[in-house]
Structures are given as structure tokens and as C-alpha cells.
Amino acid sequence: MDLGGFNWSLLTIVGAIVLAVVIAWAALRNRSSRAKIERSEEATRRVYEAEERAHGHESDKGP
């Protein structure tokens, strides 16, 4: 009995399932890190705004 074709079909199906699981895992993992990135960007924006206000007040004093 030749099971070569069956083994190849089984590997193809299992490979597709494993790929789908890995993609789903990566998508779920990225979703949680997106919130961290947004918090970091907001904090950076606040720091830049504070620096601009500080430099703006210095230039108002004159030379």
C-alpha cells in the first residue's frame, strides 16, 4: 500500500493549520502592544509640548 500521497496531504493540511494558529497568536499579541505604543507616543508628545512651552517663555524674555 502506497501512503505517500496521504502523508503529503496530511502535512499540507497540518501546515496550513499551524500557520493559521501562528498568525492568530501574533495578531493577538500585537493587539496588546498597540496600547503600549499609543501611551508612549502620548507621553512623548507631552514632553515635546512642555519643551516648546519652556523654550517659548525663554524667547519672550528677550536677549
The reported pLDDT for the residue numbered 27 is: 87
Q: What is the pTM of this model?
A: 0.49
Give the model confidence (pLDDT) of 6-24 as tens digits: 888 889 999 999 999 999 9
- What was the pLDDT predicted at 13? 95
The string of pLDDT tens digits covering residues 32-59 is 677 788 899 999 999 999 999 998 865 5
How distant is the alpha carbon of residue 3 from its chain centre?
A: 43
Q: In the chain, what are the domain boundaries?
A: 1-63
Which conformational region is residue 2 in: left (phi greater than 0), alpha (psi within -120 to 50 degrees), or beta? Answer: beta
Residue of 33, 13, 31, 35 lying closest to 23 (CA atoms): 31
